[in-house]
Amino acid sequence: MKVFQHVSDIGDLKTALAEAFEIKENRFKYSELGKNKTALLIFFNNSLRTRLSTQKAAMNLGMNVIVLDVNQGAWKLETERGVIMDGDKSEHLLEAIPVMGSYCDIIGVRSFATFESRKDDYEEKILNQFIKYSGRPVFFMESATVHPLQSFADLITIEEYKRTPRPKVVLTWAPHPKALPQAVPNSFTQWMNAADVDFVITHPEDYELDPAFAGNARVEYDQMKAFEGADFIYAKNWSCPGVTRPEDYGKVLSKDMSWTVDARHMAVTNNAFFMHCLPVRRNMIVSDDVIEAPTSLVIPEAANREISATVVLKRMLQAL
């Protein structure tokens, strides 16, 4: 595997899940594979889980790890070609990327949507430069449009906890005070569309996800109706994807607190498990009682980030 971005990059999901459970059984099984190989993890944005779980995954495989927080200690980077660099940015991404590539064997990058341009975000302008100029395999640690390590961990979690062969999984929008990217819901939708589940998305109008990710997924605008009989509730806020009105891209169109997942919502489900990628704002996205209930999977879900990252790095090492 040279790039880990879309669900298609991991191939057959049953095989990927089998590999994940093999790793979970013994996470040090491939501890010789990464000997004298270096993973470079580059963060343009904050992270708790991705930072820790991916470092741990690299260590499980015997790799060396370097972590760079670009905005703390590195030079400020220009990303646009053709600009006269007379401002506060000392270095261009076009030099920085191949330099970073020269010190490692595999690169992971986190770079969120900026909401400045829908086109630039959806064309993955930053990550594509890493793919093009680093000379190394690149895995996405949440980009402008996707968060595949999260979705893979989510799939592992659903597989572990499902009580029926084909569970009903509901992705629900929930309110948040600030504009958040669509990366998590985009990827989750892409992965659920590829998995063997009964998948439903619910959100207020004008929050439709980009068709490249939504595909033929069922959308139910009535949240309570969507929740009926659900086995898994996956909550997440996202800002307006700008599908119907491009000028609304990245805007917060609704803060409707009736969408906060609480006991009233969970009561109509099939005693559903609650999932969220974290970090989560309590009593905006989900009530205290729902996130603290025995049916809340947020902690095992986060723990599975180590497993998904170990599988991805293992695949990349095997293809070096």
Distances (CA, A) of 120 to 86, 128, 137, 311: 23, 11, 22, 30
Residue 304 binds which of ligand AN0, ligand CP, none (CB < 5-8 A, kind-dependent): none
Least distance from C-beta 50 to ligand AN0, angstroms?
Answer: 7
Is there binding between residue 203 and ligand CP (CB under 6 A)? Answer: no
Work out the angle between the directed axes of helices 49-60 and 298-318 (0-180°, nearest 10): 50
Least distance from C-beta 51 to ligand AN0, angstroms?
Answer: 11
How open is the CA angle 152-158-62, to the nearest 5 degrees? 40
User: Which stretch, 9-17, 79-87, 156-164, 275-283, contacts ligand CP (CB under 6 A)?
Assistant: 275-283
- Select 58 or 113, whichever has its Cβ closest to ligand AN0: 113
Binding marks (x or -) toward ligand CP, 33..62, rule CB under 6 A? --------------xxxx------------
Residue 183 binds which of ligand CP, ligand AN0, none (CB < 5-8 A, kind-dependent): ligand AN0
Residues in the chain: 320
Binding marks (x or -) toward ligand CP, 90..129, rule CB under 6 A? ----------------------------------------
Enumerate binding residues for ligand AN0 (CB under 6 A): 142, 180-181, 183-184, 277, 279
- Select 30 or 213, whichever has its Cβ closest to ligand CP: 213
Q: Could you give the dihedral angle defined by the CA atoms of residues 244, 228, 167 and 24, in that order, rounded to the nearest 10 degrees?
A: 90
Q: Where are the alpha helices (DSSP H) in the chain?
A: 13-25, 49-60, 93-102, 118-122, 125-133, 148-161, 183-194, 211-214, 223-227, 263-266, 288-292, 298-318
The residue number whose beta carbon is nearest to ligand CP equals: 50
Is there binding between residue 277 and ligand CP (CB under 6 A)? Answer: yes
Is there binding between residue 278 and ligand CP (CB under 6 A)? Answer: yes
Least distance from C-beta 110 to ligand CP, angstroms?
Answer: 7
- Select 81 or 178, whichever has its Cβ closest to ligand CP: 178
Nearest CA-CA partner of 99 in 133, 74, 68, 54: 133
User: Rounded CA gap, 269 and 275, in Å?
Assistant: 14
Least distance from C-beta 111 to ligand CP, angstroms?
Answer: 12
CB-CB contact of 149 with 309 (8 Å): yes
CB-neighbour burial class of residue 3 (10 A; exposed 0-12, middle 13-18, buried 19+): middle
Number of other CB atoms surrounding residue 279 within 10 Å: 11
Is there binding between residue 143 and ligand CP (CB under 6 A)? Answer: no
Is there binding between residue 145 and ligand CP (CB under 6 A)? Answer: no
- For 38, the token pair is 């270096």
Residues in touch with ligand CP (CB under 6 A): 47-50, 142, 150, 277-279
